[in-house]
Amino acid sequence: MKMSKLFVQTLREFPADADVISHKLLARAGFIRKLTSGCYNYLPLMWRVLKKIENIVREEMDSAGAQELLTPFVQPKELWEESGRWEVYGKELMRLSDRHNREMCLGPTAEEVITAVARDGLKSYKQLPCNLYQIQEKFRDEVRPRYGLLRGREFIMKDAYSFDLDQEGLDKEYKNMANAYTRIFERCGLETKMVQSDSGAIGGSVSHEFMVITTTDAGENDVFYCDDCNYSANSNHAISNLPQAETDGSKFGFTEPKVIDTPNTRTIEELCEFLKIPSTIILKSLVYIVDKKHVIALIRADKQVEETKLMNAVGGIDIRIASAAEIEELMQNHGFNGIAGFIGPKGMDDVTIVADNTVKDLKNFVVGINETDKHLVGANFGKDIPEIKQYADLRLVEAGEFCPECGKPLKVTRGIEVGNIFQLGTKYSKPMNAVYLDKNGKAQPYVMGCYGIGISRTAAAAVERWHDDNGIAWPVQIAPYHVTIVPLNNNDELQMKVAKECYAKLLSAGIEAVLDDRDERPGVKFKDADLIGFPYRITVGKTIVDGNVELKTRKTNEVETVTPEKAVELVINRIKEAI
């Protein structure tokens, strides 16, 4: 490809609406262009990158025994009613009607469609196991699309679905996919961590996410991990052992229940300050709205509630913290007139109350009793405060707490989720009556797994990982082109001749090369080459009179002064080796 004909417009400045580096660089280097919120044009350079990632995924999925197919992007309501998700999925599911007023949706994922495909085709145990996958546009109407390709509304995803006879088969395929994923990301030039995760709206029990570890905002997930063993988990799923803490209020003189005045103590901090006590003897009460109903979460006051855990504990699908007005309304409905900040479980008999496991150890604790500027001290469950009916792990893990597997301190980092694997079990096959006949002629639901990779997100994650002040530094395997040849002065016949020869040799060796034949000054060509991120650059400049060109490696900035023949040979060898 000649640079003069390559469809790319690099910008001198970063676009104003981007705030993470991958978004900024991809837009500025001419890879993407926003069409509307969360939807991007993949321009030719971007499309080449995406196709390369897709092909790596294809090769690894195929060699892992999966088969590629393609299902429609628009899906009928009826299938989603079969699985029960039409009601449950929420606003992220983009619903629309056709001209006959038939309700449809844009596919955010394809469990329903693929399960239906399998149901029609996989009738016998002899056909199992089977793993079907596709690489396709997906649409999720995100509350707040942001970070460019990292959280778009329309994006490219590889989604695979496995169908097994039983759990044993699923376990085997799950491991098979985990291995394939590790290879896929390695081949994309990305180091990933496989972490335990919540299974979310897709459902199921066991699930893991593949995270690209970052230190920037672009990593939207907190990952807790242990250096001493291989434990690692998303914050929505992580568990930990806590250090010893004082949880008995009697050590602070609260030996019997007593209501005391605690003026202006709306927050735990203020309360601790006022009573001169640690927060570990306070019972904190938080009000959430889960699926439009009030839920009270109780937890030791020095700890925080992880919303996903709470949501799972009450079996909900949507959760948010209640507003001060909603809290006060809840209190009024139960005959109290306190303000938010003094709420407690007392008298809330008909409200769903879930207590974190840390609450079990509390004795003679301090708790709000729904009265402004008052707290109950020396309280205990059963006597002063109603007995807890439901305990669960609701606690958000914090760095420094101890690894649940080996007891060493946990660390935290940020990660970009580029892939995930779920064990679905019979969550979809049962309600959709997707069954095979076993050896005894008896109908059995498939035991399913599903496995996703965000193709476009993986590309963005690669930019997050591989860039510097000058632009992108693509891993060779997924770079849009392998090498650019830059003659510095188009009027210099020797430079142009050598550049064209290098270009021709590289092309005939199957290397993806771009000849920068534009009549631009050297600075412009260098800036663009760095910005776009060609892994290698062959510069043909003044040194050609001595018979030399320069070979520059983008990632390391290493420059080798060699003959043109040698430069071409080096590039060919290194590319072949890397791919």
Partner RNA sequence: CGGGAUGUAGCGCAGCUGGUAGCGCACUUCGCUUGGGACGAAGGGGUCGCACGUUCGAACCGUGUCAUCCCGACCA
Residue 349: CB minimum distance to RNA, A: 18
N-terminal to C-terminal alpha carbon distance within the chain: 20
499 dihedral zone (left: phi>0; alpha: psi -120 to 50; beta): alpha
Q: Which residue type, as a one-letter code, is found at position 165?
A: L
| Residues in Cβ contact with 577 at an 8 Å cutoff, skipping those fewer than 6 apart | none
Is 190:477 a contact under the CB 8 Å cutoff?
Answer: no
Nearer to RNA, 38 or 129 (CB): 38
Stretch that binds RNA, among 119-127, 138-146, 427-435, 440-448 (CB under 7 A): 138-146
Query: To which residue do tokens 């008999």 refer?
Result: 349
Binding status of residue 146 toward RNA by CB under 7 A? yes
Residue 180: CB minimum distance to RNA, A: 33
Q: Which residue type, as a one-letter code, is found at position 11?
A: L
Nearer to RNA, 2 or 542 (CB): 542
Question: Residue 151: beta bridge partners?
Answer: 146
Q: Which of 292, 523, 556, 558 binds RNA (CB under 7 A)?
A: 523
Binding status of residue 368 toward RNA by CB under 7 A? yes
Binding status of residue 528 toward RNA by CB under 7 A? yes
Residue 29: CB minimum distance to RNA, A: 8
Nearer to RNA, 135 or 272 (CB): 272
Q: DSSP states of 180-220 as a string?
A: HHHHHHHHTT--EEEEE---GGG--S-EEEEEEEESSTT--
Locate 576 and state its tokens.
């072949």
Query: To which residue do tokens 């009024």 refer?
Result: 332
Nearer to RNA, 271 or 377 (CB): 271
Is 192:438 a contact under the CB 8 Å cutoff?
Answer: no
Nearer to RNA, 57 or 271 (CB): 271
Which residue, among 380, 347, 372, 379, has the nearest Cα to 262 in the 3D structure? 372
Q: What part of residues 371-410 is at the interface with RNA (CB under 7 A)?
A: none
Binding status of residue 437 toward RNA by CB under 7 A? no
Which residue, among 237, 223, 238, has the nearest Cα to 414 in the 3D structure? 223
Nearer to RNA, 144 or 383 (CB): 144
Separation of alpha carbons 114 and 67, rounded Å: 12
Is 390:313 a contact under the CB 8 Å cutoff?
Answer: yes
The phi and psi torsions of 539 (rounded to 5 degrees) equal -100, 125
Separation of alpha carbons 551 and 540, rounded Å: 9
Q: Which of 47, 134, 541, 555 binds RNA (CB under 7 A)?
A: 541
Q: What part of residues 15-34 is at the interface with RNA (CB under 7 A)?
A: 15-17, 19, 28, 34
Binding status of residue 499 toward RNA by CB under 7 A? no
Nearer to RNA, 60 or 307 (CB): 307
**What is the per-residue binding string for RNA in 460-489, x denoting contact by CB under 7 A?**
----------x-----------------xx
Stretch that binds RNA, among 54-62, 171-179, 250-258, 527-535 (CB under 7 A): 527-535
> ∠ at Cα 407 (406, 411), nearest 5°?
100
Which residue, among 49, 39, 102, 402, has the nearest Cα to 243 in the 3D structure? 402
Nearer to RNA, 395 or 465 (CB): 395
Which residue, among 183, 207, 317, 472, has the nearest Cα to 307 in the 3D structure? 317
Residue 302: CB minimum distance to RNA, A: 8
Stretch that binds RNA, among 99-107, 118-126, 335-343, 355-363 (CB under 7 A): 335-343
- Number of residues this chain uses to bind RNA (CB under 7 A): 67
Nearer to RNA, 193 or 527 (CB): 527
Query: To which residue do tokens 């109290």 refer?
Result: 336
Q: What part of residues 242-301 is at the interface with RNA (CB under 7 A)?
A: 266-269, 271, 284-287, 301
Interface with RNA by CB under 7 A: which residues? 9-13, 15-17, 19, 28, 34, 36-38, 143-147, 266-269, 271, 284-287, 301, 304-305, 307, 320-325, 327, 340-343, 368, 470, 488-491, 519-524, 526-528, 530-531, 539, 541-543, 550, 552, 559
